Amino acid sequence: MKSYICGCVRNCGPHLNAVFANIDTIAGLFEETTIVIAYDISEDNSLAILQQKQMIYGKRMILLQNQNPVTSIRTQNIANARNSIFKAIGNNPTYEYMIMLDMDDVCAGPMDISVLSRFMGRDDWDMLSFNKPDYYDIWALSIVPCLFSCWHLEDPYGCVAMMKRYITERLARIADDELLECASAFNGFGIYRLSKFVHCSYGWELKPNIKLTEKLFPNFIDANCRALDRRVDIRFNSDCEHRWFHMSAILLNNARIRISKLCLFTK
């Protein structure tokens, strides 16, 4: 098995060495890995650390340096960075997997590699993410009936708290070897079967995401609002980039997006 291990870096300097230590551990599961990092101009020593890592890894690491100014929209910047990674990877049939992980403190802590390895030989997922002791990544999460962006509903903080309780309860009810079906999830780490993400890209705009979600789940906004007792409150056209990527793969390639109840990172 071969895998790309990918991440986006902007002002991640304090955590990079720990994240790369975890990357080295992950690489041990595969016969060959290539690290692909998208770097945006930072105010810390991130670039110096990445350049040092590139010297160590040699051809096993690709460093993509964005020379364009970042925008004021965080998800647009992240979508651009992830798309640059996906473009650099191209359609390489010899690599079966892509791992995308956050390069900050989210993936810098202790990691239980056995949690990832226990699912590698299975064919019941195309994208797999994992639980956390505190499931924090609610914006990337879309699961029936909570499919809409948590930050575009009334009382978004209350919405986040309700969705956090909901996903925690759903995961608690399944067995350790079961996987929870969803439309989108990330939680800082995802492993992807590349063949199921052909012709997909990351998108950050809300309105196109709404149209895409509506194709998969007609009348999903009404169901979402009833489930959370919230009305839609669209004040900005920015959405989580993972939602577009995952739902595009479902629509185009019938991808199976899943969550494990197990925690890959214990802190």
Average pLDDT over residues 6-33: 96
Task: Calculate the average pLDDT of the chain.
Answer: 95
pLDDT digits (tens, 9 = 90+) for 219-257: 999 999 999 999 999 888 999 999 999 999 999 999 999
- Is the CB of residue 191 less than 8 Å from the CB of residue 127? yes
pLDDT for res 234: 87
pLDDT for res 235: 86
pLDDT for res 236: 87
Q: Where are the domains of the chain?
A: 1-109, 110-184+198-267
Phi and psi torsions of 110, nearest 5°:
-60, 140
pLDDT for res 201: 94
The alpha carbon torsion through 131, 207, 77, 6 (nearest 10 deg) reads 40
pLDDT for res 175: 97
Residue 133: count of CB within 10 angstroms of its CB: 9
pLDDT digits (tens, 9 = 90+) for 55-68: 999 999 999 999 88
The fraction of the chain above a pLDDT of 70, given in percent, is 100
3-state secondary structure of 233: coil
pLDDT for res 92: 79
- pLDDT of 81 above 90: yes
pLDDT for res 232: 93
128 DSSP β-pair partners: 191, 258
39 DSSP β-pair partners: 9, 65
The fraction of the chain above a pLDDT of 90, given in percent, is 90
Instruction: Give the integer Cα–Cα distance in Å for 118 and 21.
Output: 20
pLDDT digits (tens, 9 = 90+) for 155-208: 999 999 999 999 999 999 999 999 999 999 999 999 999 999 989 999 999 999
- pLDDT of 21 above 90: yes
- pLDDT of 91 above 80: no
pLDDT for res 158: 95
pLDDT for res 70: 87
| Closest C-alpha among 176, 174, 191, 188 to residue 136 | 188
pLDDT for res 90: 81
Choose which CATH entry (3.40.50.720, 3.40.50.300, 2.70.150.10, 3.90.550.10) describes domain 1-109: 3.90.550.10
